[in-house]
Chain A
Amino acid sequence: MNHFWRANRALIVASVAAMSLPVAAPASAQETFKLGIVTFLSGPAADSFGVPARNGAQFVIDQLNKGSVPSPYEKVGFGGMKIEPVIIDENGGATKQVQELRNLYQRDNVDVVLGYISSGDCLAVAPIAEELKKMLVLMDCGTPRIFEEAKYNYVFRTAAHATMDNVGLVRYMKAKNIKMDTLSAINQDYAWGQDSRADFVAAAQQLYPNVKVQTDLLPKFGAGQYGTEISALVGAGSDVVYSSLWGGDLQAFVLQSAPRGLPKRSQLVFSAADHVLPPLGDKMPDGTIIGARGSYGLMSQKSPLNDWLFRGYEAANGVYPVQAAYRITQSILGLKAAVEKAMSKNGGKKPSTDEMVAAMTGLEWPSPGGLIQMKLADGHQAIQPIAFSRTKYNPDLKRVDLIDIQYFAAECVNPPPGVKSIEWIKGGMQGAKCN
């Protein structure tokens, strides 16, 4: 009896000791990966970007958890761990977002936070993630300043910044022999509008050395009525009218400018307008040159991954995916690639933040919009290919088709590592690989 008890006691002690030891056990199927997702669910950016991004995230996470995503993402969730999303609203300003980010990490104990559309929010939350030593994946925001004015270890941006949109747009115009002796511009009076305008004008001055900037308008964000601005633009009669307006502002501008003959007098070029094509339909003037901040939506290239996203998203939401849905998809797929890379190095257990950061740095992965490469900012900032096209309304399908599509390689339209975007443009875009 004593012998039996002694043996049992030894077994219990050994079991407890074994349980208390750190064991390199593989991540179990029951283990989950808690992912904080931040996107606009309300406010002016919700319709154009926030809600498509949320819908995209829900579609991709659902597909990943079922193991239904094409190669190389067939594995369920992240390395076998089901993804548990915690989605919060980005609306409310940068101060609120700083607190919300802390809540996600410290109260909700998410493993990684992924999201953010507003440049102001990105600039505000990046230092907080760094301070908390938690991984933050920025999926959209346009400003180049995030990594050009600061250095982060725990922060990544999985999409190219706004420089690509404007350099690519000017390159497209040049390739299509668009005449631009004179240029007018209308952009919103905040970071996105001003940065976009600066990049476009600088790129235009490189490829069209004799271009003259005529009317240069910066109405406030959400102005809604552009009657006077349209008079000024029509009156100037420039060869080209450039705009980075988006969402409701862009829709209002198009609705008000078309009947006043602006598209007939000037070539309209919009750097980020794909998302307004479904709501505007036949109101969007034919021949308008547009970008989508990537090779996205109707400008995307055929591939198994793109077919999966385009058809699946359209079936789930009744509308085809535009830039925000693509950007969050490439972000989630990039994180999946990083997590699984880290797991392949640590014996298959759930990776720590530092392991994920090391795996994400300098990573490359295929996405529905093309190859994403973390080439800038010491491997923390992505570059990607981009496409531009012209609009043409299709009355049979009752949608705007995109024609004359041209693709530009990532290294043709993004600055090389170690150079500030605006300096690269003003220096003649040295080192660009466009062939």
Chain B
Amino acid sequence: MNFFLTIILDGLIQASWLFIVALGLTLVFGVLKILNIAHGSFYALGAYIAATVVTMVAARSLPPSVGFVAMLISVALIASAVGLLLERGLLKMFYGRDEVVLLLVTYAVFLILEDVTKLIWGVNPIYATQPYELFGNLEFAGLYYVGYDLVLIPISAVIGFAIWFGLNRTVIGKIVLAVIHNEEMSVSMGVRVNRVYAVAFAFGVLLAALAGALTAPKISMQPGLSSDVIILSFAIVVIGGLGSVEGAAVGAILVGLARAASVHLMPQAELFMIYLIMAAVLMFRPEGLFKRETARRI
């Protein structure tokens, strides 16, 4: 029994931060129809900024809680600004072009950001672990877990619920949904679609960077961080359905649990299991588990 509880808990911890990353990716795709290859770079950017802020706070001998709050605020501000700048300064020039062009533009952004992070933070692994000790350790199912890892689960649940609520129960959310479902009709109803695009993209960047910041205290930041994350995030949104918040949640949980079960039961099949689930979903529901099929507009 304890063994299965361990798998579930490990899976949920893994799913928690992956869900936040995938949420940003799926939101950007839902609104802008952009498959954002650079999404993993925003995750890495958030992690690096968080590490810098935490290190600065620790150098002033301030408590880890200050570092934790400071890193979240800094990352939120910088990521939102970067998102708005990129959308207004670059992506908007390519709206109306083929989706492949936008895909290539985000790929170019990914390559640029990879080098920008190397230029700023170098190629050496860096880490800032002070906030990782913030919530102590807890014993569960016969094992010690770091409180910080467990806290990520409710944090991601709150973020997920807030976004679901914002989209489905607020006026602004309904406007965003209107743009997602029918952009032309939204324009004719007086919706400023460009503004929705800018805010949605910036919010997507913010979510990726926030996930990076939240994981930063427990990992070692080094080049290559972004590519690993984007691959897993794509698997999650493909499983859940591109553009679906519920899909991102279920996809993240499935990927987290599949990975945890593999490591515990069949370590050599760890990566294979994730892609097996993705392949199975694509075979039976090519549009993903939660994406509704829509009639093609003529």
Contacts and interface: CB of A to CB of B under 8 A. Distances in A.
Interface of A: 42-44, 46-47, 51, 215-220, 222-225, 227-229, 231-232, 234-235, 247-249, 251-252, 255-256, 259-261, 279, 283
Interface size for chain B: under 10, 10 to 19, 20 to 34, or 35 or more residues?
35 or more
B49 to A, nearest CB: 17
Chain A interface secondary structure, helix, strand, loop or mixed? Answer: helix
Contacts of B264: 228, 231-232, 235
A222 B10 contact: no
Contacts of B259: 228
A228 B164 CA distance: 29
A229 B14 CA distance: 11
B125 A251 contact: yes
Interface stretch (B70-78, B141-149, B182-190, B285-293): B141-149
A220 B232 CA distance: 13
Given A215-B267, A249-B220, 10 more contacts: A44-B223, A217-B267, A220-B270, A227-B149, A228-B10, A228-B259, A248-B220, A252-B218, A256-B219, A260-B144
Return the 3 tightest CB-CB contacts between A and B, nearest first: A248-B125, A47-B124, A252-B220
Contact of A227 (B14, B118, B137, B220): B14
A255 B129 contact: yes
Contacts of B149: 227
A224 B220 contact: yes
Contacts of B228: 222-224
Contacts of B222: 44, 47, 222, 224, 247-248
Interface string B261-278: 001100110110000000
Interface in B198-230: 215, 218-225, 228
Chain B interface secondary structure, helix, strand, loop or mixed? Answer: helix
A317 to B, nearest CB: 13
A235 B125 contact: no
A255 B127 contact: yes
Contact of A252 (B11, B14, B219): B219
A283 to B, nearest CB: 7
Nearest to A225: B219
Interface in B1-24: 3, 6, 9-11, 13-14
B142 A251 contact: no
Contacts of A261: 137, 144
Given A47-B123, A217-B267, A234-B143, A42 B118 contact: yes
14 contacts: A43-B123, A47-B123, A216-B267, A222-B228, A224-B219, A229-B263, A231-B9, A231-B10, A231-B260, A235-B142, A235-B143, A248-B125, A251-B125, A251-B220
Nearest to A250: B220
Contacts of B225: 224
B68 interface: no
A217 B223 contact: no
B99 interface: no
Given A235-B3, A260-B137, A217 B220 contact: no
B294 to A, nearest CB: 36
A426 B224 CA distance: 38
Nearest to B139: A261
Contacts of B13: 227-228
A46 B123 contact: yes
A43 B133 CA distance: 29
Contacts of B268: 218
B110 interface: no
Nearest to B263: A228
Contacts of B267: 215-218, 232
A191 B259 CA distance: 23
B213 to A, nearest CB: 15
Given A234-B143, A248-B222, A260-B137, A227 B132 contact: no
A339 to B, nearest CB: 33
Contacts of B144: 234, 259-261
B133 A220 contact: no
B91 to A, nearest CB: 29
Contacts of B133: 259
A227 B125 CA distance: 19
A72 B33 CA distance: 69
A54 B53 CA distance: 30
Given A222-B228, A231-B10, A235-B6, A255 B263 contact: no
